[in-house]
Structure 1
């Protein structure tokens, strides 16, 4: 992958820093934020080829801080199962990203997410849950998707909700799984030459500014009723799906 070097101004760094803080608060409440809020701003600054590598690298810091904040809610069993199934396909997806465009798969993912929420609510009323075999298949599919795209983290959120997790347990488990997969993606992108020094600098700025937001989000969610928190999570899934479709149709990678 040929990653062009983009000169970043002080104002652009300040803009990215401010949005990173906001995205971390959103992510701490909903389980997801950075992959939705930052791409439209980062794209003209770092270029399309570096977009996913930069977000993946910065996510190592944001997910680590989120995991620390919500560590008492971390679901080890679901995390081990999903991460184990997703890791091999995540590496494959990251290699695919270095050579191919993800426009079509992004559109399909966005539409699927929009449909997932009403289906999950119907399944919840019928007391359906995702079985172990279903979790394994979903984890493998998610790994391929997250390796090759930006903004697909909401798929993991949907899987965890379907597995029966709620509230802060979704946030913590999502962060732990995403941290492990992020390490794998970063290793692939670094090997492929998709992470020059400028990308590391931008990722560090994002990570440092996002970390305080995770701790603030913990305070905001402390007294949040579980049904309200779940409704917020559902809203983010639908919004994320719509934004993915809009981003892909707009010609972004």
Structure 2
């Protein structure tokens, strides 16, 4: 049996069922308010948004996943949001880890990454279990508090014990598997360990490769990822590569503070919208 992938409106492309991940739930269980098939127009919109988000994020320090959230939500729904972001982050961080491979702190990668991996799986299970309205509220609240968290981490100094590192890394894994702000927590940890410059970029990327690999595997196993969503994620990941180079070129020519303020505003407003949408779904039986 073949599954049709619609290009625009009327040119189905047959995809062998061997390439479709088994999903015990119907597609609309995870898609909120859109058709099951994703058109080429949708892929194009996501590609443009991914490039713009990665470009702006590289100039401001804001996470591109936060900037993509308002674009992806109406296209794929809240349940598919984090799985698609995980795929895109996996490819983007592989490229970044390769660029900064000489600066990776492998001992710290082992201390943080290995305990974080099982935490990610726990986070994925929590994400799969939570209802859509609750996820919207959690995403919105985390986006709203992301700004003060980022400001706070600038002066954070950590000197934890080995047990503290393991427990903190496991907790980070749970956050990474259940909300789109694990990167902020990871950067806070690495800054606290004294990493700067290429060391923090390379080590962050390598740990993110591991955690995103676990996220992708976990989301696939619980039926939250199929071929079309993986394609969206790959598009996002690929578009981050040229955007990073262009952003590095522009950042020395354009005032970064202005962009940072504007993008922080976008993130906070998007978070408020998510909370509003969650409240609407909770208090109205049939939104």
TM-score by length of 2: 0.70
User: What is the total number of aligned residue pairs between the two structures?
Assistant: 243
String of CA shifts for 1:98-132, please: whole Å, max 9, x gaps. 11143565466456644444544555xxxx43324
Alignment match, 1:24: 54
Conservation of the 8 A alpha-carbon contact between 2:91 and 2:238: yes
2:196 and 2:270 map into 1 onto residues whose CA distance is: 24
**In structure 2, what is the Cα distance between the partners aligned to 1:237 and 1:154?**
15
Q: CA deviation at 1:240?
A: 9.4
TM-score calculated relative to the size of structure 1: 0.78
**CA separation of 1:219 and 1:136: change in aligned 2, threshold 3 A:** farther
Unmatched runs of 5 consecutive residues or more in structure 1: none
197 and 72 in structure 1: CA distance in 2 versus 1, 3 angstrom threshold:
same
RMSD, aligned α-carbons = 3.5
**Conserved? CA contact 2:136–2:274, under 8 Å:** yes
The gaps in structure 2 that reach 5 residues or longer are 1-24, 29-34, 282-287
Counterpart selection for 1:130 from 153, 159, 167: 159
Pair 1:203-2:211 in alignment:
no
Q: Which of 168, 182, 186 is the equivalent residue of 1:156?
A: 186
> Based on CA coordinates, which of the two structures has the bigger radius of gyration?
2
Which string of whole-angstrom CA distances, capped at 9 and with x for unpartnered residues, describes residues 58-93 of structure 1? 211111111112222222222211111211111111
More strand by share: 2
Give the equivalent residue in structure 1 for 2:36.
6
Q: Which has the higher contact order (CA 8 A, sep 6+)?
A: 1
Q: Report if aligned partners of 1:89, 1:144 keep a CA contact under 8 Å in 2.
A: yes
Please name the residue that 1:214 is paired with: 244
Please state how far the C-alpha of 1:169 moved relative to its aligned partner. Answer: 2.3
> Which residue does the alignment assign to 1:94?
124
